[in-house]
Chains A and B, each alone.
Chain A
Amino acid sequence: MTNSSPATKADATKLEQESRNATKAQLAEFWYYFSQNKGAVIGLVVFALLVFMAVFAPLIAPHDPDFQYRDSFLVPPVWQDGGKVAFLLGTDAVGRDILSRLIFGAQFSLFIGVVVVTIALTGGIVIGLVAGYMRGTVDTFIMRVMDVILAFPSLLLALVLVAILGPGLMNAMIAIAIVLQPHFVRLTRAAVLAERSRDYVIAAKVAGAGHLRLMFKTILPNCLAPLIVQATLSFSNAILDAAALGFLGMGAQPPTPEWGTMLAEAREFILRAWWVVTFPGLAILITVLAINLVGDGLRDALDPKLKRS
């Protein structure tokens, strides 16, 4: 039954063109609403700069982040008495350039965000889809397990998981991903429950689509909006939690220039050298704030309820 008359072909091309135009129009609409939110645009620009900084860290950083200048311990920032032009933001207790460490630290923070969100999102979507699609005992079991994870404060659970897995950046990321996952599971499940009895899903089912196709190709694309917003928020949470674990000595280990770990190393100097404490924290705050601004903008642009108001 292969029908490839010219008319059908033309129809198919036209349909394809239309769908492409529709996607374009959707993107344009999305950008319109996103760019209405000035904070979100600023956040996006800052975030882009951070990505640039992380990617080109070896080219931008004035010094090797781990090199210890033995003649320059705790040099203050350049604008303060005793500051040196070579060390714009000063040096730490063992003579390492803080600016270079911050620039390299951006690599770690963004890497943490990407890895954690990827693990949590993938796991969350699969588990949530299964729960929402299967219903019954599977659903109940999955949701009770998620309730258990959510019954613990996230940082405490992450700390305990790291105690089991052993301190280190990789294990900290796994722990944070496990702790953040239930949010994705709940969101996906709720979205699937709302979508599964809609006409287009039933039509696909009647047309003979298998379970996997129904779950991943038919339902999932229509549940993405809340997941994207949650992914952005989890990205910033992951950076914060990883920094907190680093600060408590359970995340990245010294001499890694991870911002939280840098803060932990700097703690004993807080009353003597304000700059060793101030800049790493400021870097965390700026990064997290930029991502949260983007997250707010995405929510405004993707949530149809807010668009109308």
Chain B
Amino acid sequence: MLRFLLGRFGLLIPTFLGVTLVAFSFIRLLPGDPAELLAGERGISPERKAEVMAQLGFDKPYWQQYIDYVLGIFQGDLGISFASKKPVLDEFLTLFPATAELALCAIILAVCIGIPAGIFAAVKRGSFWDQTIMGTALVGYSMPIFWWGLLLIILFSGILQWTPVSGRISLLYFFPQVTGFMLIDSLLSGQKGAFLSAVQHLILPSIVLATIPLAVIARQTRSAMLEVLGEDYVRTAKAKGLGPSRVVGMHALRNALIPVITTIGLQVGVLLAGAILTETIFSWPGIGKWLVDSISRRDYFVVQGGLLLIAGIIMMVNLIVDLLYGLVNPRIRHH
């Protein structure tokens, strides 16, 4: 197991270096004068330019800049945002809980609906229900989620007025951030109605963000179940006289879930990409909106840092999924 673990970790090193190289090159590939771009000042004098370049370390040769950059990363130095003048990492850490809360709610929603729907469709293969579920899943999979979000706003915020249009909680409530998760913090604050307000704000963005992962998980669960339901051991279980719920629940599901775990892991990338759109629509103060805003206000150290951190998160989650997969499936571990 240790060899498997080290092997998987070893594979990550070149990818991580590649990711740092992409993030490093990003700022240097931008069109225009880097000093003007990064200092956020236009038409600067040559002296000021030299000063900025030296301050940023841009006067050194590329290889040395790259080494400095990578060493900086390990010390938590991802540069300074020139919009807020705060370190990029601090900003990221402040905003990340908002995205994490949204993404967690979305994935829980996707798993809790997607897996049962997939199982049901597989068990009732070819029936009306199977076709309806799979049809809906395909629509979800094809959904432009930024439009889906707008439609839900029109219906639930505009016409029915059940949910607020944007933000994480009503302005009426104010309490200190403890965990950064609004659902937990609102409960801890003890303020009446705060928790309900947080839920109301969270519900539409979660549905929007969950849409594609839910469709993918339902489709994957169905096909994994179908494959397993055709296996000999399932037939044996049936022949032994076990009831359908026991055959499906005990014998088939356990094995069918293995590929589904991988699919769920792969959804992290989908969620973070989806967060960019979802947070923009719902003005959700997370890292997705932060990055889009930073791109449009040319706050390039933020974009660079965000790229690196998001790729880092995806790589870590993929590693964890790989390890989990090895844990539940010994064939992979010994391969």
Contacts and interface: CB of A to CB of B under 8 A. Distances in A.
A144 B158 contact: no
Interface of B: 14-15, 18-19, 21-22, 26, 29-31, 135, 138-139, 141-144, 146-148, 150-151, 153-154, 157-158, 230, 269-270, 272-273, 276-277, 280, 291-292, 295-296, 303, 306-307, 310-311, 314-315
Contacts of B143: 285, 288
A274 B315 CA distance: 40
A278 B31 contact: no
A280 B310 CA distance: 31
A288 to B, nearest CB: 4
A164 B26 contact: yes
Interface in A144-164: 144-145, 147-148, 151-157, 159-160, 163-164
Interface string A247-265: 1111000000000100100
A57 to B, nearest CB: 21
Given A145-B18, A160-B307, A280-B147, A247 B277 contact: yes
A119 interface: no
A160 B303 contact: yes
Contact of B276 (A153, A270, A281): A153
B138 A293 contact: yes
B150 A277 contact: yes
Interface in A116-158: 144-145, 147-148, 151-157
B142 A289 contact: yes
Contacts of A58: none
A271 B15 contact: no
Contacts of B276: 153, 155-156, 159, 248
Contacts of A288: 142-144
B309 to A, nearest CB: 11
Contacts of A249: 296
Given A160-B303, A250-B295, A243 B144 contact: yes
6 contacts: A152-B22, A152-B310, A159-B295, A277-B147, A281-B144, A296-B138
A277 B151 contact: yes
A102 B307 CA distance: 34
Contacts of A274: 154
Contacts of B153: 270-271
A292 B144 contact: no
B150 A267 contact: yes
A287 B177 CA distance: 44
A7 B319 CA distance: 64
Given A145-B18, A277-B154, A155 B26 contact: no
B102 to A, nearest CB: 15
A43 to B, nearest CB: 10
A147 B15 contact: yes
A284 interface: yes
A148 B146 contact: no
Given A152-B307, A289-B139, A159 B151 contact: no
Contact of A144 (B14, B31, B142): B14
A278 to B, nearest CB: 7
A164 B307 CA distance: 14
Interface residues of A, number: 43
| Interface majority SS (helix, strand, loop, mixed), chain A | helix
A153 B306 CA distance: 12
A248 B292 contact: yes
A244 interface: yes
B273 A156 contact: yes
Contacts of B19: 148, 151-152
B26 A160 contact: yes
Given A281-B147, A285-B142, A288-B144, A153 B314 contact: yes
Top 10 nearest A-B pairs (CB, nearest first) are A281-B147, A148-B18, A153-B273, A155-B273, A288-B142, A289-B142, A151-B311, A271-B158, A284-B144, A147-B15
A263 B142 contact: no
B22 to A, nearest CB: 6
Interface in A229-249: 236, 240, 243-244, 247-249
Contacts of B138: 39, 289, 292-293, 296
Interface string A285-309: 1001100110010000000000001
Contacts of B158: 270-271
Given A144-B15, A278-B151, A166 B31 contact: yes
Contact of A236 (B135, B142, B303): B142
A263 B144 CA distance: 11
Contact of B22 (A148, A240, A247): A148
Nearest to B145: A244
Interface string A212-244: 000000000000000000000000100010011
Nearest to B318: A151
A270 B292 CA distance: 21
A288 B144 CA distance: 9
A271 B158 CA distance: 6
Contacts of B307: 152, 156-157, 160
A243 B147 CA distance: 10
A160 B295 contact: yes
A35 B120 CA distance: 26
Contacts of A244: 144, 146, 277
Contacts of A154: 269, 273
B146 A151 contact: no
A151 B154 CA distance: 35
B269 A153 contact: yes
A270 B154 CA distance: 6
A144 B15 CA distance: 6
Contact of B150 (A148, A250, A270): A270
Given A148-B18, A152-B311, A270-B153, A285 B144 contact: yes
A163 B298 CA distance: 9
A147 B296 CA distance: 28
Contact of A155 (B142, B277, B296): B277
